[in-house]
Amino acid sequence: MSKILRKIITSATALLFLLNMSSAGVAATTVSAEVGFIFNTFLFLICGFLVMFMAAGFAMLESGMVTSKSVSVICAKNIGLFSIAGIMFWMFGYNVAYGIPEGGYIGKFMPWSDGSKLGTGYADGSDWYFQMVFCATTVSIVSGTMAERIKLWPFFLFAAILTGFLYPFVMGWQWGGGWLAARGFADFAGSTLVHSTGGAAALAGAILLGPRLGRFTKKGEPAPLKPFAASSIPLVTIGVFILWLGWFGFNGGSQLSMGTFDDAVAVSKIFINTNLAACGGVMAAAIVTRLAAGKTDVIQMLNGCIGGLVSITAEPLMPSPIAAILIGSVGGVIVVYGTKFLFSLKIDDVVGAIPAHLFAGVWGTLAVPITNTSAKFGTQLLGVIVINGTVFVISFLIWAIMKNTMGIRLSRESEMKGTDVSETGVIAYAIRD
């Protein structure tokens, strides 16, 4: 009896507490600075967790897209690049980006340190973590493009340069309060600053690295797919779904605050638009490939999802639901025809990262003024040209220096055996194709 009585008393107390909190919430329109600090910090951490999970998505997508003889190296690259990004962004990256003088070009080359104060609105460490996982995403884009023929350790060296210096350098021009921010350049969650940056770096590397052996015929046409077929379409699909989930952290967390009614509504709207853009990208790629070839290309559908997500990332808050679908749909179409365009140039992008991230990122950034009237097309175009141009040129120079010194491509024999045998000595699958 006493146990029952204690349960009743406990339940009643809890109910009264909730009712009190509810009535207080109705009466009050704002929360205290400390509560806002906690909510904002929580947003960064939770969304950061989601973006970190995207690392698993990239690993799964890339592992499924390469042939079975190159899967172990993909796993090594992805866990390695994430670790490199974490160290380099702590050592240099954060302050290179966020130590920029207002309207300036470059920050300070020094490690991150915690200076949390209530007045900042969130814990400094939560912001560092959130920005670090964005940084890791950028170099993940490069990994898949150059798969199956690049040496592991030159890739790790490039990852260190990209995450510690190059990405923070251009990212700070806007998010760090640099000169593009002063001009009014708008890129809410990084269609250009993250995705096009990764795509431009990948493009530079792919050009210098060259295609996989036999990928193109003597006439310059793509070779029959069978020798280069994806090892696991289910794995690619799982990877894309993980990326889709992680994107809610990517875009939702970029609201940067969760301490007010308006913030909560904004994050919810961002989630909806992000989801709808992905849906539009998938279905657009499905329809286009069906109409063009008579068959529905599942790989293009999967990359169309990413293209739709990248397209909406520059401005996920302002579009209406129908506008979000249309923006994502254009991204899906860009992925399909962007892939064909790369084929025409004999550029071998194993996973389709350049169309999905670079091309769709450019489109998404240029489309911002359609729904956000405060953004100007000329400024958006300037940002796209300068950021992508800077990243491409510097990346090309870095890849070229490494190519002519340490070498970046595996030998013909190693490539034929597979990168797993030559680079890790670990075979991913007991039975191979």
Contact 141, 198 (CB under 8 A): yes
Element (H, E) at 13: helix 2-27
pLDDT higher than 60, residue 79: yes
**If pLDDT is split at 50, 70 and 90, which confidence band does 6 have?**
low
How long is the chain?
433
Residue appearing with tokens 């994806």 = 230
In sequence order, the β-bridge partners of residue 371 are none
pLDDT attached to residue 3: 54
pLDDT higher than 70, residue 8: no
Residue 66 has what DSSP assignment?
Answer: S
Q: What is the pLDDT of residues 345-389, one digit of tens each?
A: 999 999 999 999 999 999 999 999 999 999 999 999 999 999 999
Name which of 287, 286, 280 is nearest 319 in CA terms: 280
> Which CATH number is 34-424 given?
1.10.3430.10
Q: What is the pLDDT of residues 301-315, one digit of tens each?
A: 999 999 999 999 999
Give the other-Cβ count within 10 Å of 322's Cβ: 10
3-state class (DSSP) for residue 216: strand
Give the other-Cβ count within 10 Å of 294's Cβ: 7
Q: What is the pLDDT of residues 99-134, one digit of tens each?
A: 999 999 999 999 999 989 988 899 999 999 999 999
pLDDT attached to residue 390: 98
Q: What is the pLDDT of residues 309-351, one digit of tens each?
A: 999 999 999 999 999 999 999 999 999 999 999 999 999 999 9
**Sequence-ordered list of residues with C-beta below 8 angstroms from that of 213, at least 6 positions apart, any chain:** 149, 412, 415, 416
pLDDT attached to residue 80: 98
Q: What is the pLDDT of residues 246-293, one digit of tens each?
A: 999 999 999 999 989 999 999 999 999 999 999 999 999 999 999 999
What angle is formed at CA 125 by the lines to CA 124 and CA 128, rounded to 5 degrees?
90
Torsion of CA 365, 245, 251, 53, to 10 degrees: -100
**Sequence-ordered list of residues with C-beta below 8 angstroms from that of 280, at least 6 positions apart, any chain:** 308, 324, 325, 326, 327, 328, 329, 331, 332
How many helices (H) and strands (E) are present in the chain, helices listed first? 19, 0
**Helix 197-209 to helix 377-405 angle, to the nearest 10 degrees?**
40
Name which of 172, 180, 98 is nearest 386 in CA terms: 180
**If pLDDT is split at 50, 70 and 90, which confidence band does 413 have?**
very high
Tell me the whole-structure pTM to 2 decimals.
Answer: 0.90
pLDDT higher than 60, residue 427: yes
pLDDT higher than 80, residue 14: no
The C-alpha atoms of residue 33 and residue 421 are separated, in whole angstroms, by 56
pLDDT attached to residue 4: 47
**Sequence-ordered list of residues with C-beta below 8 angstroms from that of 284, at least 6 positions apart, any chain:** 304, 308, 328, 329, 330, 331, 332, 333
The C-alpha atoms of residue 280 and residue 7 are separated, in whole angstroms, by 51
The C-alpha atoms of residue 185 and residue 206 are separated, in whole angstroms, by 29
pLDDT attached to residue 102: 92
The C-alpha atoms of residue 286 and residue 147 are separated, in whole angstroms, by 26
Element (H, E) at 425: none
Q: In the numeric block, which tokens belong to residue 422?
A: 């030559």
The C-alpha atoms of residue 417 and residue 197 are separated, in whole angstroms, by 32
Residue appearing with tokens 């590397």 = 205
The C-alpha atoms of residue 41 and residue 350 are separated, in whole angstroms, by 38
In sequence order, the β-bridge partners of residue 432 are none
Residue appearing with tokens 């875009």 = 251
Distance of CA 243 to the CA centre of its chain: 8
pLDDT higher than 70, residue 5: no
pLDDT attached to residue 21: 42
User: What does pLDDT average to over the chain?
Assistant: 91
Name which of 150, 239, 247 is nearest 201 in CA terms: 150
The C-alpha atoms of residue 314 and residue 158 are separated, in whole angstroms, by 26
Residue ranges of domains in the chain:
1-30, 34-424
For residue 112, report the phi and psi dihedrals to the nearest 5 degrees: -70, 145
**If pLDDT is split at 50, 70 and 90, which confidence band does 217 have?**
confident
pLDDT attached to residue 220: 76
